[in-house]
Amino acid sequence: MGTVSNNTRGWLFAAPVLLLVTLYLVIPTLWTVYFSFFTGGFQPDRFIGFENFRRLFTRDRLFLDLSGFPWSGALLNNILWLVFLPAGAIAFGMTIAVLADAHPWERVIKVIVFVPIVVSNTATAIIFRFLYNMNPRIGFLNAVLTSLGFKPRPWLSSREYVTFALIAAAVWIWTAFAMTVFSATYKALDKDTLQAATVDGAGEWQKFWLISLPMMAHAVSFVFITIFIQTIKIVDLVLVATDGGPAGASRIIGFSFYWETFQNLDVGYGSAIAVVMLVILLPVMVLQVRRFKAEEQ
Amino acid sequence: MMKRVILGVCIVTLLTVSVTLWARGSREPAPREVQVLAAMGGDEAIAFGNVLKRFTEETGIPVMYDPQSGDTVITTANTRIASGARLDVLTLSRPGNILGWAADGHLVALNDGDDPVVPAEVLYDNFSQSWLDLAAIDGRYYGVPLKAFSKSVVWHRPASFAQLGLEYPETWEEWMQVAETMVENGRMPFVVSGADAWTLTDWFENIYARVAGPEKYNDLFIRHGVSWTDPTVVEAMEYFREIIGNDDWIALGREGAIGLRRDEAMGLVLQDPPQAEMFYLAGFMDRVGRANFPHLRSGEDYSFFPFPQIKPEWGNVVVGGGDHAVAFNDSREVRELMRFLTKPETAEYFGSQERGAVISPNRNASRRMFTGAQRLEAEQIDSAEVFLFDGSDMAPGAVGGDAMFTALQEFLMDPSRLMESLEYIEEVARRAY
């Protein structure tokens, strides 16, 4: 073994992983970028340059429609998702993690909030389809509304509500994740600092806002980035809950990618959407890698 | 001593050799498993599973059976084709996809060569030319017709019609008159299920077939020989608007209809008291009635009348659909299965399943096992003067499975957007054909 230099040995150890990453990540990614300049099915047919991208941003009104107000399309829906899903999950997750901490029912509360994390997106979609059903005899939400004297609302079948209704379902799932991370971080906070603050006369709100939250900044950014990346990748929740409908109003980028590639077999066009996803995700991934490196040092 | 050892060795060797030879001689090569991917769900998937079980019992050929929903079957098949993974037999209701695979050379032509998979005479004997033509290119047949259903049926409760003294409408005008009478009597005439967007394409197809006739119908969907902004298309949409443009005529209003799935919609007619009187869709909704409302008798407590005529010159039109079985590989086992699926006895066995029974397009198969509304459906299919295949299923996926969905859902949400909806389909169609 003495004849093998340390450098070579390092490469040897990394080789299996490098091989797998190249095979299953790097090559398919390059292949997808290549596909995005072609028309045709799973065999690229004709080179068309940037035509797929041009169509995506100027002529596909289900992807981006700037012709009327409010603007619409999968891209804009996804921006709503990126704003409200991480924000909602972080807000609820933090609130529950902090308020339930040291509460006599802490365990029960956390188990209940944790449950959605083990429920698949498909099952969540079906649960919420029932919950949102327009018929008050089936839909819980509308049953509550009608019992209070309001009219039932078409949660999943109107352009105004559908995206927010789906985001709410996703918040239900991701609150569990956020709470778990925040709860662990909160428990690990330096209690002496907090006690010192109490002695100095700080209120609970001040302690949370000025001491606990800044000390948990790392956890918050970790949760944010994780949910951000997941949000771009969501397909199943939308597919099962609404099929992207009504009339394409609840599409998001991941859904459009799936739909164009596998439903319409427009693989080049689907690849172009995947490239857009990659472009959105790249900066976030670079940020994440930098953070990991910084933490190692 | 030495002699005995040699003798012993000789005997043992002889025995071993003869046993080995005997064993080899008596054993044929084990049959290879047939991989079947089927676009079937629920009870129907179980029923077709029973059909395949019987095949294995009769022939000893094992089957790997994988039932999936229609959408995922296409995805799975395409992925398997692209990756070179094995796929032997597939059943599907979209001739557009079948012809696409055939043109790309992925499918086995059943009647080809000196030793065909299924001889043409056998196909002609069992199936009508129009059924065979759905999955044929230049006289080479690729599909065995497996299942037929009508999509020209209007579900209702006969008791409601009797109470209001109504007759079943035979023309569009009579139908609208029936609806008005229902409204006058405080009933809700229609329920439309808009969440499963294909139910809306079926509405359009039925109206279009009765407005423009079979030739234009096939031209529009198969070849895009008619523009989506053609006056006949606009006229058909205007007929449709007579119903959906009337917010008081459809249960839960347009906003509610767009969120209704077909099973829920059927339920609104069958529940007590009903929330709607008439639900247009397909014959196979009978299964929802039988499963979810077991106390109601199919064909009596609830039943259907045929989609009324619009222009009499086109005769008794039935729009329907059906599945074909196609083969991706040619092997002894696959041949056996394709021949098995061609037999009238197989069709009858499929039709006599207690749950999930289907009507076969096989004309030599008996219809005596069907009961209730399913018997009416079989009669409707057999007596149709013109049987038109589901148009959106013959169109490319981007048109029949996407653009039409979006456009018709938009139209249902806002019926004033008629032209915008049609222009959208036309734009996609220009790219897709």
Compute the count of residue pairs across chains A and B with CB atoms less than 8 Å apart: 81
| Planar angle of CA B224, B225, B231, nearest 5 degrees | 95
Per the structure, the count of domains in chain B is 2
* pLDDT tier, B430 (very low <50, low <70, confident <90, very high otherwise): very high
CA distance linking residue B350 with residue B348, whole number of Å: 5
For residue B397, give the chain A residue with the closest CA: A264
CA distance linking residue B413 with residue B258, whole number of Å: 7
Look up the CATH architecture of domain A36-296. Orthogonal Bundle (1.10)
Contact B307, B206 (CB under 8 A): yes
Contact list, B194 vs chain A (CB under 8 Å): 157, 246
Contact list, B262 vs chain A (CB under 8 Å): none
β pairing state of B34-39 and B63-68: parallel
CA distance linking residue B379 with residue B319, whole number of Å: 14
* Residue B12: inside a domain: no
Query: Which of B254, B192, B256 has the alpha carbon at shortest distance from B416?
Result: B254
Are the beta carbons of A246 and B78 separated by less than 8 Å?
Answer: no
- Closest-CA distance, A253 to chain B, in angstroms, reads 16
Contact list, B195 vs chain A (CB under 8 Å): 156-157, 242-243, 245-246
DSSP annotation of B386 reads E
Based on the fold, state whether residues B121 and B89 are members of the same structural domain.
yes
Based on the fold, state whether residues B423 and B345 are members of the same structural domain.
no
Based on the fold, state whether residues B226 and B291 are members of the same structural domain.
yes
Contact B237, B411 (CB under 8 A): yes
Contact B81, B27 (CB under 8 A): no
Q: How many CA atoms lie within 13 A of B170 on its CB side?
A: 4
DSSP B124-192: HHHS-HHHHHTTEETTEE-EEEEEEEE--EEEE-HHHHHHTTPPPP-BHHHHHHHHHHHHHTT---EE-
Mutate to test the interface with B, among A58, A161, A263 (most CBs of B within 10 A): A263
CA distance linking residue A133 with residue A181, whole number of Å: 33
- Say which residue, A203 or B328, is predicted with more confidence: B328
> Residue B23 pLDDT more than 60?
no
Contact list, A145 vs chain B (CB under 8 Å): none
Are the beta carbons of A157 and B194 separated by less than 8 Å?
Answer: yes
CA distance linking residue A36 with residue A22, whole number of Å: 20
Contact A241, A169 (CB under 8 A): yes
Cα distances (angstroms) measured from residue B216 to each of B133, B204, B226, B314, B353: 18, 14, 7, 11, 38
What per-residue confidence (pLDDT) applies to A297? 75
CA B419 to chain CA mean position, Å? 30
Give the rounded percent of residues in chain B with a pLDDT score beyond 70: 94
| Token duo for residue A124 | 């969540």
> Residue B174 pLDDT more than 80?
yes
CA distance linking residue B348 with residue A177, whole number of Å: 54
* Residue B365: inside a domain: yes
| Token duo for residue A68 | 């009327």
Residue type, B248: D
Domain range for B416: 153-318+390-432
Cα distances (angstroms) measured from residue A134 to each of A82, A143, A156, A159, B52: 27, 9, 8, 14, 40
Q: What is the mean pLDDT of residues B20-37?
A: 73
Contact A62, A74 (CB under 8 A): yes
> Residue B123 pLDDT more than 80?
yes
| Token duo for residue A75 | 């891209």
* Residue B14: inside a domain: no
Are the beta carbons of B256 and A154 separated by less than 8 Å?
Answer: yes
Based on the fold, state whether residues B45 and B174 are members of the same structural domain.
no
Are the beta carbons of B252 and A135 separated by less than 8 Å?
Answer: yes
Based on the fold, state whether residues B197 and B250 are members of the same structural domain.
yes
CA distance linking residue A206 with residue B13, whole number of Å: 94
> Residue B164 pLDDT more than 90?
yes
Q: pLDDT tens digits, residue range B225-278?
A: 999 999 999 999 999 999 999 999 999 999 889 989 999 999 999 999 999 999
Q: B156 pairs with which residues across the strands?
A: B303
Task: Print burial letters for B249-269: b (CB count within 10 Å at least 16), e (below 16).
Answer: bbbbebbbbbbbebebbbbbb
Based on the fold, state whether residues B128 and B69 are members of the same structural domain.
yes
Contact list, A59 vs chain B (CB under 8 Å): 427
Q: Which of A157, A259, A266 sits opposite B259 (nearest CB)?
A: A157
Residue type, A295: E
- Classify burial at B270, counting beta carbons within 10 Å of its beta carbon; exposed 0-12, middle 13-18, buried 19 or more: buried
* pLDDT tier, B2 (very low <50, low <70, confident <90, very high otherwise): low
CA B12 to chain CA mean position, Å? 63
Q: Which of B195, B401, B410 sits opposite A263 (nearest CB)?
A: B401
Are the beta carbons of B252 and A134 separated by less than 8 Å?
Answer: yes
Are the beta carbons of B258 and A158 separated by less than 8 Å?
Answer: yes
Query: Which of B142, B149, B147 has the alpha carbon at shortest distance from B338?
Result: B142
Query: How many other C-beta atoms can be found within 10 angstroms of the C-beta atom of residue B279?
Result: 27
- Closest-CA distance, A124 to chain B, in angstroms, reads 18
Contact list, A135 vs chain B (CB under 8 Å): 252, 256, 264, 268
Residue type, A131: L
For residue A246, give the chain B residue with the closest CA: B409
* Residue B8: inside a domain: no
Are the beta carbons of A154 and B258 separated by less than 8 Å?
Answer: yes
What per-residue confidence (pLDDT) applies to A136? 85
* pLDDT tier, B314 (very low <50, low <70, confident <90, very high otherwise): very high
CA distance linking residue B161 with residue B168, whole number of Å: 8
**Coil/strand/helix, residue B296:** coil
> Domain residue spans in chain A?
1-25, 36-296
* Residue B330: inside a domain: yes
**Coil/strand/helix, residue B279:** strand
| Token duo for residue A289 | 């890698």
Based on the fold, state whether residues B182 and B42 are members of the same structural domain.
no
> Tens of pLDDT along chain A (297 residues)?
556 788 889 999 999 999 999 999 999 999 999 999 998 777 788 899 999 999 999 988 899 998 878 889 999 999 999 999 999 999 999 999 999 988 899 999 999 999 998 898 999 999 999 999 888 888 999 999 999 999 888 899 888 899 999 999 999 999 999 999 999 999 998 888 888 988 888 888 888 888 899 999 989 999 999 999 999 989 999 999 998 989 899 999 999 999 998 888 889 999 999 999 999 999 988 888 888 888 777
CATH at B176? 3.40.190.10
Based on the fold, state whether residues B160 and B284 are members of the same structural domain.
yes
Q: Which of B75, B268, B410 sits opposite A247 (nearest CB)?
A: B410
- Closest-CA distance, A248 to chain B, in angstroms, reads 6
Contact B423, B411 (CB under 8 A): no
> Residue B72 pLDDT more than 90?
no
Are the beta carbons of B407 and A247 separated by less than 8 Å?
Answer: yes
Are the beta carbons of B78 and A259 separated by less than 8 Å?
Answer: no
Query: Which of A276, A258, A213, A285 has the alpha carbon at shortest distance from A79?
Result: A276
Q: What is the mean pLDDT of residues B150-164?
A: 96
Q: Which of B71, B74, B413 sits opposite A247 (nearest CB)?
A: B413
Are the beta carbons of A246 and B259 separated by less than 8 Å?
Answer: yes
Based on the fold, state whether residues B137 and B284 are members of the same structural domain.
no
CA distance linking residue A95 with residue B34, whole number of Å: 56
Which residues neighbour A57 within 8 Å (Cβ) at sequence distance 6 or greater?
Answer: A63, A64
Query: Which of A278, A273, A277, A279 has the alpha carbon at shortest distance from A60?
Result: A273
What per-residue confidence (pLDDT) applies to A166? 96
* Residue B76: inside a domain: yes
| Token duo for residue B228 | 């989506």
Q: Which of A133, A158, A259 sits opposite B255 (nearest CB)?
A: A158
* pLDDT tier, B21 (very low <50, low <70, confident <90, very high otherwise): low
Query: How many other C-beta atoms can be found within 10 angstroms of the C-beta atom of residue A17?
Result: 9
For residue A258, give the chain B residue with the closest CA: B75
* Residue B404: inside a domain: yes
Based on the fold, state whether residues B331 and B301 are members of the same structural domain.
no
Mutate to test the interface with B, among A142, A157, A166 (most CBs of B within 10 A): A157
What per-residue confidence (pLDDT) applies to B429? 94
B interface residues, A as partner, C-beta within 8 Å: 71, 74-75, 78, 81-82, 194-195, 197, 252, 255-256, 258-260, 264, 268, 397-398, 401-402, 405-407, 409-410, 413, 424, 427
| Token duo for residue B306 | 């045929």
Contact B281, B181 (CB under 8 A): no
Mutate to test the interface with A, among B405, B408, B411 (most CBs of A within 10 A): B405
What per-residue confidence (pLDDT) applies to B18? 61
Q: Which of B74, B259, B424 sits opposite A134 (nearest CB)?
A: B259
Are the beta carbons of B71 and A263 separated by less than 8 Å?
Answer: yes
* Residue B270: inside a domain: yes
What per-residue confidence (pLDDT) applies to B255? 87
Based on the fold, state whether residues B190 and B289 are members of the same structural domain.
yes
Q: What is the mean pLDDT of residues B169-182?
A: 97
Q: A4 pairs with which residues across the strands?
A: none
* pLDDT tier, B109 (very low <50, low <70, confident <90, very high otherwise): very high
